[in-house]
Amino acid sequence: MTFQGLALGPDIALIAIAAEPFSEIGRRVKDASPFPYTLFSGYSNVGWAYMPTADAYPLGGYEVEVSPFAPDAANQTIRASLEMLHELRNGSIGDPDHDV
């Protein structure tokens, strides 16, 4: 999955993913972000599929039934988003010595 991140100074960050995430995913990213103000956005670069949280899978429903994502995808997305936010905060994204 494609992630996009942008820091606007020391206080504001934007993270975008190519999916339609359940709102809890964005809330967890915002709550753990190293930036005081973080916007988490789905629907970026042709976000075409629902991304449920792991606890939604046993409940079923339309979003779970049509989702191509595994139950752990939300947790992986949260981890990857937070990693990108920390890299943005530390200035390591855009560093030529940083592996992308």
pLDDT, position 91:
87
pLDDT of the chain, 100 residues: tens digit per residue: 888 999 999 999 999 999 999 999 999 999 999 999 999 999 998 877 999 999 999 999 999 999 999 999 999 999 999 999 999 999 877 555 555 4
pLDDT, position 100:
45
Max intra-chain CA distance, the chain: 45
Contact (CB, 8 A) for 84 and 5 = yes
Contact (CB, 8 A) for 66 and 49 = yes
Domain boundaries, the chain: 3-90
* Phi, psi values for residue 30, rounded to 5°: -60, -45
